[in-house]
Amino acid sequence: MRRRPRLPARLPLDPYVLALLATVGLAALLPARGPAATVADGASTAAVALLFFLYGARLSTREALDGLRHWRLHVTVLACTFVLFPLLGLAARGLVPTLLTQPLYSGLLFLCLVPSTVQSSIAFTSIARGNVPAAICAGSFSSLAGIVLTPLLAAGLLGADAGGFSPDSLVKIVVQLLLPFLLGQALRRRVGGFLVRHKKALGYVDRGSILLVVYAAFSAGMAAGVWHRVSLPHLGALLAVEAVLLAVMLLVTWYGAARLGFGREDRIAIQFAGSKKSLAAGLPMASVLFGAQAGLAVLPLMLFHQMQLMVCAVLARRRARDPEAAWGELAPGRVAEVSPPAQHPAPQGR
């Protein structure tokens, strides 16, 4: 008899999300004003440039090129991230103003344009015994494409809310995002060893930089009075909409990958890489694209980030406890007789 999967004893409340919420609280109580706001804004700009320099220095171009051999999987993940997600975000426009305010909807649509995660996609794919190398490459491709696609999609779909195609916004994107990333790629051979040796310390630099970006963005939002436009019913509606969005993407990536003929291990990688959005990449991008409105714009992304961690942790453990699915599930159109799981070794990750 098939055992009923149980929830993990403790759902993963990301400590970093708690730090982000504490930063938001600090900005609400002690927002940077006057000269302090100028300093915070300058430090935030430098932090964004540093973040994208480190992204470029860490991304292995050789690994990404090696992953091109599995191009169908990567195209599928990219299509989920930069085509299907944005289409669902555009469809949610019908919820304004009944369920969502225009600023919250802009943040929700921005969430749909952000690239996929790398670390959590790999972790959950590994837990679920999926194709880990494919998850690594898919996350890397998504991050690389997001450097260009996310600002362009935001400018085209969000219009004035994200600065449009003005020369000033394009200069900010190039100077704060693209140039540091390219510089990191160019210097990767020289600084790669240093980054590996000090990986833990640089992780704190990453997270500290993002906390600084969040503080500056939410301080600017407090000064502009954007939080007076948010009510608890609208926040509840936002959470409900994001729950539906995540459920749709998890279902589409799993069953859609099966329809495309992918095996179970590849389907796991597609599901976890294609249904996620990167908080680390989205927060600094929002600070560049939205300016004083960034605080409210990143709220949907922060909420979605924690939701995806909790749901995917449960889902990954369930898939790990269901090894017979590798033998009992067949791609559409495939005709074969499959022996019971006990007569065959469980498939190993590729």
Structure confidence at residue 338 as a pLDDT band (50, 70, 90): very low
Residues 6+ apart with CB under 8 A from 239: 303, 307
Predicted TM-score (pTM) of the model is 0.76
How many beta carbons lie within 10 A of that of residue 57, not counting itself?
Answer: 22
Residue 105 is predicted with a pLDDT of 93
Residues 6+ apart with CB under 8 A from 60: 140, 188
- Whether 304 contacts 243, CB under 8 Å: no
Half-sphere exposure of 253 (CA within 13 A, CB side): 31
Residue 1 is predicted with a pLDDT of 47
Amino acid at 291: G
Average pLDDT over the chain, rounded to an integer: 80
Residue 220 is predicted with a pLDDT of 76
Distance CA 194, CA 222 (A): 39
- Whether 265 contacts 130, CB under 8 Å: yes
Distance CA 23, CA 40 (A): 13
Amino acid at 230: V
pLDDT tens column, 199-247? 888 878 888 888 888 888 778 777 766 666 678 899 899 999 999 999 9
Distance CA 288, CA 169 (A): 8
Which tokens hold the place of 24? 């938001």
- 245-277 burial, b at 16+ Cβ within 10 Å, e below that, comes to bbeebbebbbebbbeeebbbbbbbbbbbbbbbb
> Residue 324: is its pLDDT beyond 50?
no
Report which of 48, 44, 40 is spatially closest to residue 180, judged by C-alpha positions.
Answer: 48
Burial of residue 205 (number of CB atoms within 10 Å: 0-12, 13-18, 19+): middle
Report which of 92, 78, 3 is spatially closest to residue 304, judged by C-alpha positions.
Answer: 92
> Residue 5: is its pLDDT beyond 90?
no
Report which of 53, 43, 45, 49 is spatially closest to residue 195, judged by C-alpha positions.
Answer: 53
Structure confidence at residue 16 as a pLDDT band (50, 70, 90): confident
Amino acid at 127: I
Percent of the chain scoring above 70 in pLDDT: 80
